[in-house]
Amino acid sequence: MDRYERILTLHRILKSARYPVPFARLKEDLACSRATLYRDIAFLRDALGAPIESGEGEEATFRYAADEAERFELPGLWLTSEELAALLALNELLGRSDPGVLAGALAPFRARIERLLSDHASGRALPIERIRVLASGSRTLDQAAFRVVASTLLNRERLKFRYRARSTDAQTERVVSPQRLAHYRDNWYLDAWDHSRDALRSFALDRIREPEAVNESALDREAGELDAHLASSYGIFSGAPKAWATIRFSAHAARWVADEHWHSQQQGARLPDGRYELKLPYSNSRELLMDVLKYGPDAEVVAPVSLREEMKILLQLALGAYQSAP
């Protein structure tokens, strides 16, 4: 641990301590000698202005003065090497995730991160290219539309737009009260109260056209209602769960599926023969079946019967496409 990290660690220990901290514990936590610890304490107190109260000798204890502890912070931005590594990953994520939508707005922030990383590394270039962020299945999104939607959400205004649903390809006019923006599988969605339907709905931002703010306050829905309607079932399709799906995966696929997060309420168990059984609630079967299909013969829908029959029909239709030459 270098001096920079020792000073930061010392500050955090004293800042969070409810009682005076013994000298011996500080020396152990900072993994340094007695003389080094005293020099660090003196630097923190005299150079950085920390409100340190202390005693003398090996049995001494240290703490921040109670009336100043909450107000005192280290000047500037201090990060440990682990936090710096996380910031480095965030920097790359900002640069490569959704470059079209967020690049302009986040460019100043990214530039500051890069300067901070350079300063922390004493001016040498850090190997940022060794961190890769790969988008999969992201769709083209209009930057102007994104800004309008985000602005009405944060300013708690109603939003009017034209929407063309992929399922029907029909275009409708909507007036909504934005509730949440969700980034799901590399695409953006708006969770909103649809005033024409008096219900919560989710809208893909890439299908929203001509959005504009309405000079009327948005209707706020309770967080519990939003979670119950929008987060209780599998995937991005909203609605209260209508059933629980049971899916069995082969012993081979179990090596991956057992470690995957499909839903906050999922239930998983390994079977005696090595297979893996997954249970989870769903409302709309479409996305769930698409995810199961990618496992091919390594996945079997067991229940409910209606979901199993849906899967059989999908497989039969897929097989039918291969019955004749292309």
The tens digit of pLDDT for each residue in 213-248 reads 999 999 999 888 887 776 666 666 666 788 999 999
Q: Which two tokens stand for residue 118?
A: 């350079």
Query: Mean pLDDT throughout 24-41?
Result: 90
Confidence of residue 160 (pLDDT cuts 50, 70, 90): very high
Q: Please, are residues 189 and 202 in contact by the beta-carbon 8 Å criterion?
A: yes
Higher pLDDT, 70 or 195: 195
Closest by CA position to 2, among listed 116, 115, 118, 122? 122
Q: How many CB atoms lie within 10 A of CB 26?
A: 21
Q: What is the pLDDT of residue 301?
A: 96
Crossing angle (nearest 10°) for helices 99-120 and 81-96: 150
> 235: left (phi > 0), else alpha (psi -120 to 50), else beta?
left
Predicted confidence (pLDDT) per residue in 265-282, tens digit: 899 999 999 999 999 999
Q: Residue 161: which H helix or E strand, with range?
A: strand 157-164
Burial class of 134 by CB neighbour count within 10 A (0 to 12, 13 to 18, 19+): exposed
Residue type, 111: A
Find where tokens 């000698």 sit: 33
Query: What is the distance between the alpha carbons of residues 243 and 229, in angstroms, rounded to a whole number?
Result: 14
Query: What is the distance between the alpha carbons of residues 265 and 172, in angstroms, rounded to a whole number?
Result: 34
pLDDT > 90 fraction of the chain, expressed in percent and rounded: 35
Confidence of residue 104 (pLDDT cuts 50, 70, 90): low
Find where tokens 């986040």 sit: 106
Three-class secondary structure assignment of 63-82 = EECCCCCCCCCCCCCCCCHH
Query: What is the distance between the alpha carbons of residues 257 and 278, in angstroms, rounded to a whole number?
Result: 9
Q: What is the pLDDT of residue 227?
A: 79
Torsion of CA 140, 144, 146, 152, to 10 degrees: -160
Strand, coil or helix: 204:
strand
Q: Which two tokens stand for residue 97?
A: 């995730």
Q: What is the pLDDT of residue 267?
A: 93
Largest interatomic CA distance in the chain: 89
**Ramachandran angles phi, psi of 156, nearest 5°:** 55, 50
**Residue 18 per-residue DSSP state:** S
